[in-house]
Structure 1
């Protein structure tokens, strides 16, 4: 007897949530029971496998496998039926643009996503040509978001003072960019219940001074590797801080 088939749908969904979405989607061919089971999974994890696309034939500079990735994500996001997405995760290479990402994020917002993770993977050869991803304005006023993790060449363009993330408790800003210094301050000021902040400003020259003024903050981690005269400044105003980890490495 197929032991897996005897498990409850809830348990099967928990197991599937540990897998990349493309592998979960592949289970639709197993049986009638599996055909629609994936539609109720609470975690969507997309990876365009950037490293495998580098040497592929391309049309207008975009590999065919990335075009298939776009179609796959669109299909999954449309067919997915879980009322709430606990985690929506993207790991994409230099061919992803702001328009595509904004479209997927807006769908996630409609589906009441709680945790959003975005990582831009790149190689040394492609890094300088990658256009920074700009997040949609709607994300900065999304009331249900609890965890936001951003990594690499993502531009925080917070031009409005009306930032409202009332449920955000954990924020990771790893090697992101800021249009202005004020964008950093505006983002943090719109997170009234933020408990954890993780920053890596090693590749971000736009923040010579880091100012963390978050009354609710309990955990703060900052990594800073500089190639200048190591004159970076740090200001912390967090009266309820319980954990502090700062690594400052000067690269001469």
Structure 2
């Protein structure tokens, strides 16, 4: 019977992929044959939940030549040596990873020249004030920055994002006091759920987006975007907080085809506690209502006066509408749904092709 050490590197790597992380690294101590085999493993996951630091693990990882996927959880990164270089790393996940400083974050990410996917899940710590993500190759970015309950914004803490190759961006952040986002390329899909940052400045960076999902603080009346959202075809708004953005986005989105209203339960919206004005219909009909908007979906419809006004306005002026779908709120009693449905069905429609559906 052959000794396992006689197996080819490819076969040994397949075995290591099925082995717990701590055992994978331990194989380097078996013999000279095994010393560097673990570095051929393309995917590593490290969870430091039960240890004080991950410094020893990270120090060795810095010389990994073929690593493609790396997931770190509750690791401590205090320093990044000048020789560090993850030339093959494409996917990186950082779950509550503690960096010693702003410079350490920047240095760590600069070691990943072809990084395509980055997930950052953490709560803000004093050590890092500006979490800068400057990765030219990055295509998909997810940031989740929440902790149990709602707290005040951490002044002087936040993210700076410079990733001109992004095609997908998702941010759920309840803690950062500011954001800086370099203008996104065309056809990007953005899901933005923010509580404290400058919503106006952020939206100004998304004018080339093709799909946008928003859960934001009510807008300031003085905000006027410098550019149109002339690539936007799909828009999703949190009905609890973002109706104030509706008129502005309709007016500046001439190619919009799909519009959805919903409650963003995954972000536990509290933006609606901010003072907001009553929705008022636009003084002139937006171009998208006359020429492009085909589908409107309302998820969690409660039939409030404001919701009825918005729904009626869209039906009355949506000359191109083909479908209006309404899903009543789970809190709506069965006996209330029939009169609510009849009320919607009686609303005048600009488009003879518009089909109503209720779920």
Residues 207-231 of structure 1: CA deviation (Å, up to 9, x unaligned): 5677885231122111354486798
Gaps of 5+ in 2: 1-9, 11-39, 43-65, 69-87, 100-110, 116-134, 334-359
Q: Find 1:217's aligned residue among 289, 293, 300.
A: 293
Matched, 1:200 2:262: yes
Q: Find 1:191's aligned residue among 235, 241, 253.
A: 253
> What residue number does 2:193 align with?
119
Gaps of 5+ in 1: 27-33, 121-130
SS at match of 1:232: helix
Q: Distance in 2 between matches of 1:41 and 1:161?
A: 26
Q: Kindly report the root-mean-square deviation, in angstroms, between the aligned alpha carbons of the 2 structures.
A: 4.8
Residues 7-36 of structure 1: CA deviation (Å, up to 9, x unaligned): 8xxx974xx3xx75659xx9xxxxxxx843
> What residue number does 1:48 align with?
145
> What residue number does 1:37 align with?
114
**Rg (Cα) greater in structure:** 2
- Give how far 1:186 is off: 2.7
SS at match of 1:36: coil
Mark the CA change 1:140 to 1:246 in structure 2 (over 3 Å): closer, same or farther: farther
Matched, 1:149 2:225: no
8 Å CA contact 1:178–1:206 kept in 2: the answer is no
- Give how far 1:37 is off: 3.0
User: Mapping of 1:63-74 within 5 angstroms?
Assistant: 70=158, 73-74=159-160
Mark the CA change 1:113 to 1:157 in structure 2 (over 3 Å): closer, same or farther: farther
> What residue number does 2:170 align with?
89
Q: Distance in 2 between matches of 1:230 and 1:149?
A: 20
Q: Distance in 2 between matches of 1:20 and 1:245?
A: 37
> What residue number does 2:81 align with?
none
- Give how far 1:114 is off: 1.9
Equivalenced residues, count: 207
SS at match of 1:50: coil
Mark the CA change 1:20 to 1:197 in structure 2 (over 3 Å): closer, same or farther: farther
> What residue number does 2:325 align with?
245
Mark the CA change 1:137 to 1:86 in structure 2 (over 3 Å): closer, same or farther: same
Mark the CA change 1:222 to 1:210 in structure 2 (over 3 Å): closer, same or farther: farther
> What residue number does 2:18 align with?
none
Structure (1 or 2) with the greater helix fraction: 1
Q: Distance in 2 between matches of 1:44 and 1:224?
A: 28
Residues 128-179 of structure 1: CA deviation (Å, up to 9, x unaligned): xxx654423573485422111112x422335338661111111111135369
Q: Distance in 2 between matches of 1:139 and 1:230?
A: 24
Q: Distance in 1 between matches of 2:247 and 2:213?
A: 17
Mark the CA change 1:201 to 1:117 in structure 2 (over 3 Å): closer, same or farther: closer
Residues 116-136 of structure 1: CA deviation (Å, up to 9, x unaligned): 22124xxxxxxxxxx654423
SS at match of 1:177: coil
8 Å CA contact 2:238–2:262 kept in 1: the answer is yes
